Amino acid sequence: MKKVTIQQMREIDKQTINVYGIPAQVLMDHAGKAVADESLKLLTNKKKKIAVFCGPGNNGGDGLAAARWLYHYREMVEVFFVGNLERASLETRLNFAIIENLHIPMQKVQDNWPALKEQIRYFNVVIDALLGTGSYGPIQGLYKKIIDDLNESGVKIVSVDIPSGLNADTGQALGSCINAAVTVALGFSKIGFGQPTAKKHTGKVVVADIGLIDK
């Protein structure tokens, strides 16, 4: 299984979009479907409700696309959006608008997190699309609180591409880090996943083909 660095992944993304002309929105949609499909495998018959935690980056955009696919599958899904949408990419903002247009339940997480976190126990699965491969420094503030509380909830977590708070190159946690049951690596596994320190955070790694072109 090929493993890539953050820089290699960025070059493959850039080549796929700019050289071969595959729109970023198409890749994001493929990523969302792959994450939704893996999340469905963790659902039980007793309780079928999925929470999707999204940040404003492209990782969050993948999570929003996953929420749309879950809605399409007629699953009970709710989005928790963290951060400033104005800083988001065009693709992430587009998926955010789709969630609003479909009237999928969505909470905007700010200083209301202490109240919102009580809702997590009602979900069967949480999709982690908070932070992507661009994270480097120690996780702090609201993101730290959310990550710590999700880990403590005992709910099964599916991470999009990489567990939030993990360095994709070193496999080291950036302080607080999601402990996922499943990580859906988009396109390729990340080189840091091979490190012993990463295993407790990634859980099972599933590599999803989202249509990236590497040649």
- Scan for tokens 């919102």, then name that residue: 116
Euclidean distance between CA atoms 148 and 165, whole angstroms: 11
pLDDT for the residue 46: 61
Q: Could you list the pLDDT tens digit for every one of the 215 residues in the chain?
A: 689 999 999 999 999 999 999 999 999 999 999 999 999 999 876 668 999 999 999 999 999 999 999 999 999 999 999 999 988 989 999 999 999 999 999 999 999 999 999 999 899 999 999 999 888 789 999 999 999 999 999 999 999 999 999 999 999 999 899 999 999 999 999 999 999 999 999 999 999 999 999 98
**Furthest-apart CA pair in the chain: how many Å?**
49
pTM of this structure: 0.96
pLDDT for the residue 133: 87
Domain extent listing, the chain: 3-208
pLDDT for the residue 2: 85
Q: What is the CATH number of domain 3-208?
A: 3.40.50.10260
Euclidean distance between CA atoms 62 and 50, whole angstroms: 15
Cβ-proximal residues to 188 (8 Å cutoff; 6+ apart), any chain: 2, 3, 4, 9, 12, 207, 212, 214
pLDDT for the residue 146: 97
